[in-house]
Amino acid sequence: MAQGKRTYAAAGVSIEKGEAVVERLRAAVESTGATGFGAFAGLHPLGDGRLLAATTDSVGTKLILARERGRLRACGADLAAHCINDVVTTGADPLILLDYVAASRIELEEVAELVEGAAEVCRQAGVALVGGETAELPGIYREGELDFAGTCVGVVERGRLVDGSRVQAGDLVLGLPSAGVHANGFTLVRHVLEDEGYDGEDLLAPTRLYLDDVRGLRERVDVRALAHVTGGGILGNLSRVLPAGLRAEIDWEAWERPPVFRWLAGHVGEEELRRVFNLGIGYLAVVPEPADGLVLGRIVRA
């Protein structure tokens, strides 16, 4: 890493520790009969040829910056889009979303902004926001802090399941553009803001919803794997859905990065940028043949 550059670990977040937690918990989780652990959504068979797909996530520390700048509604959209996008990686149709708001002291207007933002995305996706929980937890959260998390559940026919198992060397990697940083890496972003300000729209733009993009792509081509580019970057997230013995080779010059990533590049080394951020690509599809879209690279043997 270049001397003097900011890093995620120095900002307080360890990607490696998160990966270690997944491996440490794998045996306990899989002992319950769960499948798909470590991917973007867990799977559970319904016994009629269909599987439930479910995921849980939160907006994270983006909430701190969004609250300061009056952009909490965008964070509500982040939560819904993020969870729906994760479920869609399995090929499932998302059905329902539940949310959870927690703070040292609940402010009605802030909760309303978050839930209304989530509901707007749910309407676009045909997903029912069926309920949630609001908790005041002084002593756990500091004054002025809040958290927003959610769970999305969908359903997929076994014959329509997308799980990466059919990916082969030579397949192509397609990329779908992001709206900006989305909702990952903001602990590092906030540290960079201590060095230099940034007010571009792509900093706090909400996570793109990729549901229609994926459905349209599946109508045109055989989609063998799907990955949502969140914390861990392009390679880190794609590796979660590739079979053992395969990896992706990415042409990092194949697309133009949004301005926010050029700003971050002034403070964060290239290797760290690739490990933490989406760099302008929010979703990935692995296909066996060319299709409409941006080709980022190819699957090769590890």
Per-residue b or e along 67-87, where b marks 16 or more CB atoms closer than 10 Å to that residue's CB: beeebbbbbbbbbbbbbbbbb
- Rounded to whole angstroms, the Cα distance separating 260 from 200 reads 7
Element (H, E) at 42: strand 42-45
With a CB cutoff of 8 Å and minimum separation 6, the contacts of 100 are: 132, 133, 134, 135, 147, 148, 149, 150
Give the pLDDT confidence score for residue 35 in this predicted structure: 67
Letter for the amino acid at 264?
A: L
- Rounded to whole angstroms, the Cα distance separating 25 from 29 reads 6
Give the pLDDT confidence score for residue 16 in this predicted structure: 72
Strand partners of residue 128:
96
Q: Tokens 């602990």 sit at which residue? A: 187
Give the pLDDT confidence score for residue 18 in this predicted structure: 62
- Give one word for 221, left, alpha or beta, with left for phi > 0 and alpha for psi -120 to 50: beta
Give the pLDDT confidence score for residue 30 in this predicted structure: 76
Q: Which of 178, 92, 99 is nearest to 134 (CA)?
A: 99
Give the pLDDT confidence score for residue 19 in this predicted structure: 66
Give the pLDDT confidence score for residue 2 in this predicted structure: 41
pLDDT in tens, the chain (302 residues): 344 688 877 777 766 766 677 777 777 887 887 766 778 999 999 999 999 999 999 999 999 999 999 999 999 999 999 999 999 999 999 999 999 999 999 999 999 999 999 999 999 999 999 999 999 999 999 998 999 999 999 999 999 999 999 999 999 999 999 999 999 999 999 999 999 999 999 999 999 999 999 999 999 999 999 999 999 999 999 999 999 999 999 999 999 999 999 999 999 999 999 999 999 999 999 999 888 889 999 999 99
Q: What is the pTM of this model?
A: 0.92
